Chains A and B, each alone.
Chain A
Amino acid sequence: MDYDQAVELFDPALGLEVHVELNTASKLFCGCANRFSGPPNSRTCPVCLGLPGSLPVVNARAVESAIRIGLALNCQIARQCCFARKNYFYPDMTKDFQTSQYDEPICFDGRVAVELAGQVFDVEIERAHLEEDAGQLLHQGATGRIQGADYSLVDYNRAGTPLVEIVTRPITGTGAQAPQVARAYVAWLRDQLRALGVSDVRMEQGSLRCDANLSLSPKGSGVLGTRTETKNVNSLRSIERALGYEIRRQAAILADGGRVVQETRHWHEEGTTSPGRSKEQAEDYRYFPEPDLPQLRPDPEWVESLRRRLPEDPRARVARLQAEWGLTDLEMRDVLGAEALDVVEATVAAGVSPAAARKWWLTELLRFANAAGLELAAVPMTPAQVAAVQALVDSGRLNDKLARQVTEAVLAGEGEPDQIVARRGLALVSDTAQLQAAVERAVAACPQAAESVRQGKAQAVGAIIGAAMRELGGQGDAAQVRQLILETLA
């Protein structure tokens, strides 16, 4: 069934569960380093390996991050809450239970407004709770998948990574726009989490993971249907596509008089989902309060101080900066698309005009980042260094071409812009006699062009400028050279 037909017949209801890996220095319950990668099982200790006798101690920074997330989602913050054990056997769980939260999440009852093409959708947040991540199974065999593996290895480096799981209430009333609303919500969340500085929010690395629940009800009936949960959809675009696919798939089943099976489904980048674990028989996790950890009782004054220190809403910030910088919507979209907002802002703060700052980051540096496979913020040149190069241009010591050479040298790790200019002798030639000599040699080398200029064809001066610049090794100020040529031929 095609999409238009599907949303004609059925109302989609969305439910989004987003797992956010917090970027705390250490893991949730032990002192092991919390970061991506590392040799297998190198970042482990008795606690995150769940060795007999070991006990958890809660990372206070993770609690703070969870609360800040909750505040940004306009949640209530629990006066007191506990951790709970979610019991199930799986080799990636070192204790064969996950320390999570159950009936007492640290954040609950939130609400965010998601904007989509001028329309505002209200997304209610049921809860945001803290939990630990599991290790990773590495299936050894031809496929790398569990099916057909010869054996499996376990890497517990990720075990104990702090996660915040953010769960929405069912989102209804989005109609045909359901997939776009889901995408917009996750994008909003990603921006918010980045602004909070609590996570790397890299979907491709799994530091932001989305499980998308979807059910359909006959148009206008208002009764929630049976839902499926598509797991680990790891890009914004995939969220939109996976939900679009599920809408079509479920609508086809229902329109055919069939029954949607309650199950988890896996998303495939080629554009389909396939069945995973059935959830018809609800798994019994035997939750009970974690006896090894005392109750969390966040001091209300502390919570209020965290609320006061929340960063500016990312959407409001974008609007403010666009106005301050005088950029068009299109220009601003480029800045956002390149994830250049922070670096451009920092460069402007370092004294560069918004136009120049934007130009540097969206041309030279973006090209470098793309070639090196880096995020823009990770290129080895700071906003202060960009500002130093631009200052040399503004003062007439560098032209654009030389400035680009200096930039390349900075990116190559050769040092600060001033040092590079000095060491390489890249500054523009300002000695008039030297300039005049170069111009005269250029005129002599281009007799035809010189003749044309003398006869009033000013556009012919370009060839002579080129020759003069070659004489100067590129270190001439093109406008100054042009002026000298015209004076010479006058």
Chain B
Amino acid sequence: MSLTDLTAAELALALAQGEASSQEATTACLERIAATDGDLNAFLHVDAERALAAARAVDARRAAGEALAPLAGVPVAVKDAFVLQGAPTTCGSRILEGWRPPYDATVVSRLRAAGLVILGKTNMDEFAMGSSTENSAYGPTRNPWDRERVPGGSGGGSAACLAARQAPLAIGSDTGGSIRQPAAVTGTVGVKPTYGGVSRYGLVAMASSLDQPGPCARTALDAALLHTVIAGHDPRDSTSLDAPTPPVVRAARDGRVDGLRLGVVQQLGGQGYAPGVEERFQQGVNALERAGAEVRRLSCPHFPLALAAYYLIMPSEASSNLARFDAVRYGLRVGDDGANSVEQVMRLTRGLGFGDEVKRRVILGTYALSAGYYEAYYGSAQKVRDLVRRDFAAAFEQVDVLVSPACPTTAWRLGERTDDPWAMYQADLCTVPVNLAGNCAASFPAGLSPDDGLPVGLQVMAPAGRDDLLYRVGAALERALGPSPAAPDVAPTVAVALTAAGVGPAASGRTTAAPAAVGVHPAASRLDAADQAAGQAAAPDVAGPSADAPGDDQTGVGRTGAER
């Protein structure tokens, strides 16, 4: 059994019981990253030295008998959109190349304070603008389920590293679905907390009124444990909620949905949705109904307008937030030859430093905010935002949570949508309404699509401040469907060779070896029978939505091991 196969809750228990050390767990993750990431490109930066030092420090504190936080010693990956003192922080952009922030994001300092071990920074679409991680200036991340396919975006790195067992936990940020949509297409769990539930301080802003950091994991309980670490009021973020964090861990352990009123959003389905996605979604809903939830269909009439409103508000805020990348204070500087004026240097730097999608959105937003167009575009979008809020308010008078597919399709092929922004934007169709309204939502694995054998995510949406309901439903779904399937393994030997080739002089080895690695989709599970027999949260490699799975196989560990 490998430590990288454990859930965070299981690992936490093993650490607490002295069955493993954080150093061992961290080493296992680092080795797995080294073995697989040459191919996947989930990480932009891995700091093995700092990670191991942090791990040893936790081990020493544990050995000294110190009382540690539940997840102390558990490794975690952080999306490159968060600043981490002294570590490269690029947001997947050339324009921040070489910048090392002098401070930690609040999320990062909370991870550190709770003793989590930060492995490194994960890949993302440039400034979180994208739905496939193909807009990263440092190359796309590949989907561990099929390396010819995208891992979703913008947080494809965080989702892929979980699916590839490189890390048990990851941090993401969700502006229009950047946590949930990658979770859906990689078969992992991704939660967008209530706006203000987790501090944005140190999250490089794309669209301030929509951005929200959140936990990424492989199980509902793991996500809840991580949620509790990072959530809570932060005086440095004026939009941070000054309210207690909802009891998400308790909800994830409980996982009971009997009597819970569950609304299927009529508008989030039908045309444009892959049949296999709809089928798995419906099976998930049925499973929840069998578990005691009361299911009804209801209408949110303004949701179809949400995507258009989102693509006005988000670029407007982004155009302003990204103005500061002007070559004056940090990051890339182009054309500073003494002859160019500061305006010319700004223009050259932004021209070379930003990718096409970023430029597209900055131009869109600049236009939407300009005099004479403001009311027609930004103003109208804000009105739609209000209507979407009202749709949610009306829906939550009838039901406790809403459900939908988290993404209309499964993972698509690399390059398939890069020339068609609107097709790319459709990937956020199901997720953007929640960001506009500010409430919370999550994507949980709902099995593999019968169309292509790729993961499908079921989205749960709850009212603001009721993040606990997400976890309750997510845990119920896990129980009903059985352990979520694991991504087929990447071939470590090939990937190691790739990594070595990538850093060594024979860099061309990468291109020659790559065809051998891509497309490998081994049918065999790397999970051996012993794991299964031991009753760990090991997952079969075949999708098995089964309504009668045992109820407490995964949560048993957490109950004793990671009590908060």
Binding site for B on A (CB under 8 A): 46, 49-58, 85, 87, 89, 91, 94-97, 151-152, 154, 282, 284, 286-288, 291-294
CB distance from A58 to the nearest CB of B (A): 7
Task: Given the known inter-chain contacts A96-B326, A286-B369, A288-B374, please indicate yes or no for A53 contacting B201, CB distance below 8 A.
Answer: yes
Q: B238 to A57, Cβ gap below 8 A?
A: yes
CB distance from A490 to the nearest CB of B (A): 85
Which of A51, A57, A91, A94 is the one whose CB lies under 8 Å from B235?
A: A57
Q: How far is the CA of A8 from the CA of B317 in the complex (A)?
A: 52
Cβ of B299 < 8 Å from any Cβ of A? no
Q: Which of B361-413 contact A (CB under 8 A)?
A: 366, 369-371, 374, 378
What residues of chain A lie closer than 8 Å to B99, measured between beta carbons?
A: 52
Q: Decide if the interface of chain B is mainly helix, strand, loop or mixed.
A: loop
Query: Which residue of A56, A58, A291 has the most chain B CB atoms within 10 A of its CB atom?
Result: A291
Cβ of B43 < 8 Å from any Cβ of A? no
Q: B238 to A58, Cβ gap below 8 A?
A: yes
Q: Can you name the residue of chain A whose Cβ is closest to the Cβ of B205?
A: A53
What residues of chain A lie closer than 8 Å to B343, measured between beta carbons?
A: 89
| Stretch of B15-23, B101-109, B532-540 with 4 or more beta carbons under 8 angstroms from chain A | B101-109
Q: How far is the CA of A89 from the CA of B350 in the complex (A)?
A: 12
Cβ of B237 < 8 Å from any Cβ of A? yes
Q: How far is the CA of A291 from the CA of B370 in the complex (A)?
A: 17
Q: B320 to A53, Cβ gap below 8 A?
A: no
Q: How far is the CA of A46 from the CA of B85 in the complex (A)?
A: 12
Query: Which residue of A58, A95, A96, A97 has the most chain B CB atoms within 10 A of its CB atom?
Result: A96
Q: How far is the CA of A89 from the CA of B327 in the complex (A)?
A: 11
Task: Given the known inter-chain contacts A52-B91, A94-B329, A293-B238, please indicate yes or no for A284 contacting B370, CB distance below 8 A.
Answer: yes
Q: How far is the CA of A89 from the CA of B207 in the complex (A)?
A: 19
- B85-99 vs A, CB cutoff 8 Å, 1 = contact: the mask equals 000010100001001
Task: Given the known inter-chain contacts A87-B369, A89-B326, A291-B317, please indicate yes or no for A52 contacting B342, CB distance below 8 A.
Answer: no
Query: Which residue of B316, B320, B330, B343 has the most chain A CB atoms within 10 A of its CB atom?
Result: B320
Q: B323 to A51, Cβ gap below 8 A?
A: no
Which of A96, A151, A294 is the one whose CB lies under 8 Å from B239?
A: A294
Q: Can you name the residue of chain B whose Cβ is closest to the Cβ of A96?
A: B323
Cβ of B303 < 8 Å from any Cβ of A? no
Give 15 A-B contacts (CB < 8 Å), ordered by A residue: A46-B102, A52-B89, A52-B99, A53-B101, A53-B105, A53-B204, A55-B238, A57-B238, A87-B323, A89-B323, A96-B323, A151-B338, A282-B371, A288-B378, A293-B239
Which of A46, A49, A154, A286 is the one whose CB lies under 8 Å from B366?
A: A286
Q: B200 to A55, Cβ gap below 8 A?
A: yes
- B197-228 vs A, CB cutoff 8 Å, 1 = contact: the mask equals 00011111101110000000000000000000
What residues of chain A lie closer than 8 Å to B342, measured between beta carbons?
A: 91, 152
Q: Can you name the residue of chain A whose Cβ is closest to the Cβ of B102?
A: A46
Q: How far is the CA of A46 from the CA of B370 in the complex (A)?
A: 29
What residues of chain A lie closer than 8 Å to B239, measured between beta carbons?
A: 55, 291-294
Which of B204, B207, B316, B317 is the one whose CB lies under 8 Å from A52?
A: B204
Task: Given the known inter-chain contacts A58-B238, A152-B342, please indicate yes or no for A53 contacting B323, CB distance below 8 A.
Answer: no
What residues of chain A lie closer than 8 Å to B369, measured between beta carbons?
A: 87, 286-288
Cβ of B1 < 8 Å from any Cβ of A? no
Task: Given the known inter-chain contacts A51-B330, A52-B91, A52-B204, please indicate yes or no for A288 contacting B320, CB distance below 8 A.
Answer: yes
What residues of chain A lie closer than 8 Å to B102, measured between beta carbons?
A: 46, 51
Cβ of B346 < 8 Å from any Cβ of A? yes
Cβ of B82 < 8 Å from any Cβ of A? yes
CB distance from A113 to the nearest CB of B (A): 36
Q: How far is the CA of A80 from the CA of B2 in the complex (A)?
A: 57
What residues of chain B lie closer than 8 Å to A87, measured between beta carbons?
A: 319-320, 323, 369
Q: A292 to B323, Cβ gap below 8 A?
A: no
Q: A91 to B203, Cβ gap below 8 A?
A: no
Cβ of B297 < 8 Å from any Cβ of A? no
Q: Decide if the interface of chain A is mainly helix, strand, loop or mixed.
A: loop
Query: Which residue of A52, A56, A95, A282 has the most chain B CB atoms within 10 A of its CB atom?
Result: A52
Q: How far is the CA of A475 from the CA of B105 in the complex (A)?
A: 71
- B226-261 vs A, CB cutoff 8 Å, 1 = contact: the mask equals 000000000111110000000000000000000000
Q: Can you name the residue of chain A whose Cβ is closest to the Cβ of B326?
A: A96
Task: Given the known inter-chain contacts A57-B238, A87-B369, A288-B378, please indicate yes or no for A50 contacting B324, CB distance below 8 A.
Answer: yes
What residues of chain A lie closer than 8 Å to B238, measured between beta carbons?
A: 55-58, 292-294
Q: Can you name the residue of chain A whose Cβ is closest to the Cβ of B366?
A: A286
Q: How far is the CA of A202 from the CA of B235 in the complex (A)?
A: 33
Q: B320 to A154, Cβ gap below 8 A?
A: no
Task: Given the known inter-chain contacts A96-B323, A286-B366, A288-B378, please indicate yes or no for A55 contacting B237, CB distance below 8 A.
Answer: yes
Q: How far is the CA of A287 from the CA of B207 in the complex (A)?
A: 15
Query: Which residue of B82, B316, B326 has the most chain A CB atoms within 10 A of its CB atom?
Result: B326
Which of A49, A55, A94, A284 is the one whose CB lies under 8 Å from B201?
A: A55
What residues of chain A lie closer than 8 Å to B89, measured between beta carbons?
A: 52
What residues of chain A lie closer than 8 Å to B113, measured between beta carbons?
A: none
What residues of chain B lie closer than 8 Å to A97, measured between beta carbons?
A: 320, 323
Cβ of B487 < 8 Å from any Cβ of A? no
CB distance from B260 to the nearest CB of A (A): 32
What residues of chain B lie closer than 8 Å to A85, measured between beta carbons?
A: 320
Q: How far is the CA of A58 from the CA of B239 in the complex (A)?
A: 11
Q: A46-B102, A91-B328, A288-B317 are in contact. List 17 more A-B contacts (CB 8 A).
A: A51-B101, A52-B89, A52-B91, A52-B324, A54-B103, A55-B200, A85-B320, A96-B324, A96-B326, A286-B370, A288-B369, A288-B378, A291-B207, A291-B317, A292-B208, A293-B238, A294-B238
CB distance from A12 to the nearest CB of B (A): 30
CB distance from B224 to the nearest CB of A (A): 25
CB distance from A189 to the nearest CB of B (A): 31
Q: Can you name the residue of chain B whose Cβ is closest to the Cβ of A152?
A: B342
Q: B83 to A291, Cβ gap below 8 A?
A: no
Q: B103 to A46, Cβ gap below 8 A?
A: yes
Which of B209, B236, B346, B374 is the one whose CB lies under 8 Å from A57?
A: B236
Q: Can you name the residue of chain B whose Cβ is closest to the Cβ of A283?
A: B371
Query: Which residue of B89, B208, B323 has the most chain A CB atoms within 10 A of its CB atom?
Result: B323
Q: Can you name the residue of chain A whose Cβ is closest to the Cβ of B211?
A: A291
Q: How far is the CA of A396 from the CA of B551 in the complex (A)?
A: 99
Q: How far is the CA of A380 from the CA of B66 in the complex (A)?
A: 56
Task: Given the known inter-chain contacts A55-B238, A291-B209, please indicate yes or no for A286 contacting B101, CB distance below 8 A.
Answer: no
Q: B330 to A54, Cβ gap below 8 A?
A: no
CB distance from A91 to the nearest CB of B (A): 5
Q: B346 to A89, Cβ gap below 8 A?
A: yes
Q: Can you name the residue of chain A whose Cβ is closest to the Cβ of B372?
A: A284
Q: How far is the CA of A292 from the CA of B369 in the complex (A)?
A: 17
Q: How far is the CA of A154 from the CA of B330 in the complex (A)?
A: 13
Q: Can you name the residue of chain B whose Cβ is closest to the Cβ of A85?
A: B320
Q: Can you name the residue of chain B whose Cβ is closest to the Cβ of A49?
A: B329
What residues of chain B lie closer than 8 Å to A291, measured between beta carbons?
A: 207-209, 239, 317
Q: How far is the CA of A291 from the CA of B239 in the complex (A)?
A: 9
Interface pairs A-B: 10 shortest CB-CB:
A96-B323, A291-B208, A286-B369, A291-B209, A53-B202, A52-B204, A53-B83, A91-B328, A95-B324, A284-B371
What residues of chain B lie closer than 8 Å to A50, measured between beta carbons?
A: 324, 329
What residues of chain B lie closer than 8 Å to A154, measured between beta carbons?
A: 328
Query: Which residue of A152, A154, A286 has the most chain B CB atoms within 10 A of its CB atom?
Result: A286
